Amino acid sequence: MDELDRAIVNGLQGGFPVCERPYAEAAARLGTDEATLIERLEALLADGTLTRFGPLFDAVALGGAFTLCALAVPPEDFERVAAIVNAFPEVAHNYERAHRLNMWFVLATEKPAGIARALRRIAAATGLAVLEFPKLDEYFVELRLTA
Amino acid sequence: MTDAELVRALQGGLPLVSRPYHAVAASLGAAPEEVMARLAAMLADGRVRRIGAVPNHYALGYAANGMSVWDVEDAALASLGPAVGALPFVSHCYRRPRRPPEWRYNLFAMVHGRTRAEVGAKVAEIAALLGARSRAHEVLYSTRILKKSGLRFGV
């Protein structure tokens, strides 16, 4: 990663313009040109430095629903349960964590009713009690990671 | 073109071409001006949080991610929650329900760092900020990403 890559990762986490030639406009701000910026973004996406480039939607503001859930999975059964949980399209993220509650996943659905349905299906498919932790309040400040 | 169609067309990312909004408009059979106006409106009202690069924590060396959870006096959360959320190393900060007897914690603050020691030091800063208003806390380190789909909606 060179100086330009760093400038792209640090400087383009938001504020990408909405106009006819946005890459050209963003490139000018970064002191480069449109073709170079597009090439660098392609490379940063290909090597996994960036997971995505584009608009970040707020699923709740779009009318969808989100919730955080946790399972206490018997360690010997972990891989099997992970495969079952991951197969649900409603599961957006799933993390293994070092705790008795060792599997934490986020459900995202287009409609709030989809959450309850997914919870029931996951409980039935895994045979485990799903603890749900819906967001009650948000104290949110966007993280800006520096490269 | 509905908003839902526009969201679906952009969920995978913005096309890496000279006129990306024109490309999206063409794929939807819509006018580029309309696509840009819709996106600007969605940015203004918060349906789009931001447009730009989404970095991979791990690729940037932020290998340690700890979900710190706190048992805070309910009455103190309205003032202390925003204070924790405003810390520069806290990416997400939420009040969530307690689930007794298994779970006593009502404040969740995600802390990112390059090492667990760095996360631990940041968690100590949160502990200092909360003081006696926090009766207990734990840090749940992630040991593996099992799935990360980029927030596509399930159906």
CB contact under 8 Å between A55 and B90, yes or no, is no
**One domain, residues B26 and B90:** no
Residue B50 lies in a domain: no
Residue B113 lies in a domain: yes
Q: Which residues in chain A are closer than 8 Å to B40, comparing Cβ atoms?
A: 18
Count of Cβ atoms closer than 10 Å to residue A48 Cβ: 11
- pTM for the whole thing? 0.77
Q: Is the pLDDT of residue B71 over 70?
A: yes
Q: Which residues in chain A are closer than 8 Å to B155, comparing Cβ atoms?
A: 89, 110, 114
Once rounded to an integer, what is the mean pLDDT over residues A58-71? 88
Q: Which residues in chain B are closer than 8 Å to A94, comparing Cβ atoms?
A: 145-148
Residues of chain A with CATH 3.30.70.3460: 65-133
CATH of the domain at B104: 3.30.70.3460
Tokens of B7: 């969201």
**One domain, residues B104 and B38:** no
Where in the sequence is the domain holding B95, given as residue range(s)? 64-141
Question: Is B81 an interface residue toward A (CB < 8 Å)?
Answer: yes
Say what the pLDDT of residue B22 is.
Answer: 98
Sheet containing B107-113: order of strands: A131-133, A65-71, A103-109, A91-97, B134-148, B64-72, B107-113, B90-95, A137-138
- Comparing C-alpha atoms, which of A29, A34, A36 is closest to residue A5? A36
Which range is most confident: A112-116, B67-71, B150-154?
B67-71
Any idea which fold A65-133 has?
Answer: Alpha-Beta Plaits (3.30.70)
Confidence of residue A145 (pLDDT cuts 50, 70, 90): low
**One domain, residues B91 and B39:** no
Say what the pLDDT of residue A59 is.
Answer: 77
Count of Cβ atoms closer than 10 Å to residue A47 Cβ: 12
- Comparing C-alpha atoms, which of A58, A53, A56 is closest to residue A23? A53
Question: Is A83 an interface residue toward B (CB < 8 Å)?
Answer: no
Are A67 and A106 within 8 A, CB to CB? Answer: yes
What does the pLDDT look like over B73-83, one tens digit per residue? 999 999 999 99
- Comparing C-alpha atoms, which of A138, A133, A137 is closest to residue B97? A133
Confidence of residue B152 (pLDDT cuts 50, 70, 90): very low
Say what the pLDDT of residue A57 is.
Answer: 85
- Comparing C-alpha atoms, which of B2, B32, B39 is closest to residue B17? B32
Query: Number of folded domains in chain B?
Result: 2
Mean pLDDT over all residues of chain B?
Answer: 91
CB contact under 8 Å between A38 and B18, yes or no, is yes
User: Which of B54, B84, B87 to mutate to test binding with chain A, by most A CBs within 10 Å of its CB?
Assistant: B54
Residue B148 lies in a domain: no
Q: Is the pLDDT of residue B149 over 70?
A: no
Tell how strand A65-71 and strand A131-133 pair up. Answer: antiparallel
**One domain, residues B26 and B89:** no
CB contact under 8 Å between B155 and A95, yes or no, is no
Give B52: exposed, middle or buried? Use CB within 10 Å, 0-12, 13-18, 19+. buried
User: Which of A95, A105, A126 to mutate to test binding with chain B, by most B CBs within 10 Å of its CB?
Assistant: A95
Q: Is the pLDDT of residue B59 over 50?
A: yes
Q: Which residues in chain B are closer than 8 Å to A18, comparing Cβ atoms?
A: 21, 36, 39-40, 43, 51
